[in-house]
A = this chain, B = another copy of it.
Amino acid sequence: MITRMSSLFLRTLREDPADAEVPSHKLLVRAGYVRRVAPGGYSWLPLGMRVLRNIERIVREEMDAIGAQEIQFPALLPREPYEITGRWTEYGQSLFRLKDRKGVDYLLGPTHEELFTLVVKGEYSSYKDYPVTLYQIQTKYRDEARPRAGILRCREFVMKDSYSFDLDDDGQARSYQAHRDAYVRIFDRLGVEYVIVKATSGAMGGSASEEFLAVAPTGEDTFVRSTESGYAANVEAVATPAPAEQPVDGRPEAQVHHTPNTPTIESLVAFLNERAGLGRAFTAADTLKNVLLKIRQPGEDKWELLAIGVPGDREVDQKRLEAALEPAEVAMLDEADFAANPFLVKGYIGPNALLTNGVRYLVDPRVVRGSAWVTGADKADHHVVDLLCGRDFTPDGTIDVAEVRAGDPSPDGRGTLIAARGIEIGHVFQLGRKYSDAFSLDALGPDSKPIRITMGSYGIGVSRLVAVIAEQHHDEHGLVWPRAVAPADVHLVIAGKDDAIRAGGEKLAADLADAGVRILLDDRGVSPGVKFADAELIGVPTIVVVGRGLAGGVVEVKDRLSGDRRDVGVDQAVEHLVTLTKGGNPRGN
Task: Please give the residue numbers on chain A whose beta carbons come within 8 Å of chain B beta carbons, in ascending order.
Answer: 7-11, 32, 35, 37-38, 41-46, 49, 67, 69-78, 93-94, 96-98, 100-101, 106, 108, 115, 119, 122-124, 132, 134, 139, 141, 143, 145, 155-156
Contacts and interface: CB of A to CB of B under 8 A. Distances in A.
Contacts of A73: 37, 43
Contacts of A44: 71-72
Given A76-B38, A97-B98, A156-B75, A123 B11 contact: yes
Assembly of this chain: how many copies?
2
Given A41-B77, A100-B96, A123 B70 contact: no
A65 B139 CA distance: 27
Nearest to A154: B74
28 contacts: A7-B67, A7-B132, A9-B132, A9-B134, A11-B124, A32-B123, A35-B122, A37-B73, A37-B78, A38-B74, A38-B106, A41-B78, A42-B74, A44-B72, A46-B69, A46-B70, A46-B71, A49-B71, A49-B72, A75-B75, A76-B141, A76-B155, A93-B101, A94-B101, A96-B98, A98-B108, A100-B143, A101-B145
A114 to B, nearest CB: 10
Contacts of A43: 71-74, 115, 119
B108 A76 contact: yes
Nearest to A43: B73
A71 B139 CA distance: 15
A41 B74 contact: yes
Contacts of A100: 96, 143, 155
A9 B97 contact: no
Nearest to A97: B98
Contacts of A98: 96-98, 108
Contacts of A143: 100-101
A11 B121 CA distance: 11
A72 B45 CA distance: 7
A77 B38 contact: yes
A129 to B, nearest CB: 8
Contacts of A11: 123-124
Contacts of A69: 8-9, 46
A45 B118 CA distance: 13
B76 A35 contact: no
A139 B141 CA distance: 13
Given A37-B78, A41-B74, A43-B72, 7 more contacts: A9-B134, A37-B77, A46-B70, A75-B75, A96-B100, A96-B106, A101-B145
Contacts of A106: 38, 96
A37 B41 CA distance: 26
A98 B145 CA distance: 16
A347 to B, nearest CB: 36
Given A101-B145, A108-B76, A119 B35 contact: yes
Contacts of A74: 37-38, 41-43, 156
Contacts of A8: 69
A71 B9 contact: yes
| Ranked 9 nearest A-B pairs via Cβ | A98-B98, A41-B74, A93-B101, A44-B72, A38-B78, A11-B123, A74-B156, A43-B73, A46-B69
A49 B70 contact: yes
Which of A9, A75, A155 lies at the interface centre, i.e. has the most chain B CB atoms within 10 A of its CB? A9
A116 B67 CA distance: 39
A43 B138 CA distance: 12
A44 B135 CA distance: 11
A341 B443 CA distance: 69
Contact of A9 (B76, B123, B141): B123
Nearest to A46: B69
A302 B75 CA distance: 37
Best-buried of A44, A71, A76, A132 by chain B (most CB within 10 Å): A76
Contacts of A132: 7, 9
A534 to B, nearest CB: 14
A70 B49 CA distance: 7
A31 B115 CA distance: 20
A101 B43 CA distance: 22
A68 to B, nearest CB: 10
A9 B130 CA distance: 10
Nearest to A1: B64
A108 B74 CA distance: 13
Nearest to A72: B44
A45 B67 contact: no
Nearest to A79: B38
A46 B64 CA distance: 12
A46 B119 CA distance: 12
